[in-house]
Structure 1
């Protein structure tokens, strides 16, 4: 099987409300991962605090870069994380749009 020239990895931050509990993760499939967070069936930190709102993400080609960035963000002070989110998402809008759903016609 040929190696793909490009793959997407994401570092993301989810929350339950503006300036609420923050969770930082890394994934190779943002849509699948967000669906698992929203379902909340796993016994996990994100399920415990009902973290279902994607408020920040960054895309990477290489998993090593994504993991490095995830670790960096996890070591940041909470205020720095909030400032990062608000620099691109000042209203703390949910940035996740499910595949195949038109955001103009869907509610949520």
Structure 2
């Protein structure tokens, strides 16, 4: 199986504080945010809701995408989230389901 890398956006609530991250293990990393395992921004601001994620087969593409998203204006991030998740539903339960397949994101 080809390695996968993830760029994700967490929110504290609908239209709340946003955090953009990058990881090789989305399930583990979001669990860490949700359980406040690592002190920092997401812990201090209770940013635990997975509202958007993208999957890449290439480390460099994923890292570049995270770099770009971190520099996006907030309104652009909100549009990105709402394009596929208008209710800002927490997607963690979808990926935590062992039967769920995480789709691959190939467009940049």
- Quote the residue 2:33 is aligned against: 37
Structure 1: where are the runs of 5+ without partners? 103-108
TM-score (norm 2): 0.85
Residue of 57, 68, 93 corresponding to 2:53: 57
How far 1:41 sits from its partner (Å)?
2.9
Write the distance in 2 (CA, Å) between the matches of 1:78 and 1:67.
19
- Quote the residue 1:21 is aligned against: 17
Between structures 1 and 2, the one with greater helix share? 2
Write the distance in 2 (CA, Å) between the matches of 1:27 and 1:96.
15
Q: Is the 8 A contact 1:8 1:59 kept in 2?
A: yes
TM-score (norm 1): 0.85
Pair member with larger Rg: 1
Structure 2: where are the runs of 5+ without partners? 101-108
How far 1:100 sits from its partner (Å)?
4.3
- Quote the residue 1:47 is aligned against: 43
TM-align CA RMSD: 1.6
Answering whether residue 70 of structure 2 is matched by residue 74 of structure 1, we say yes
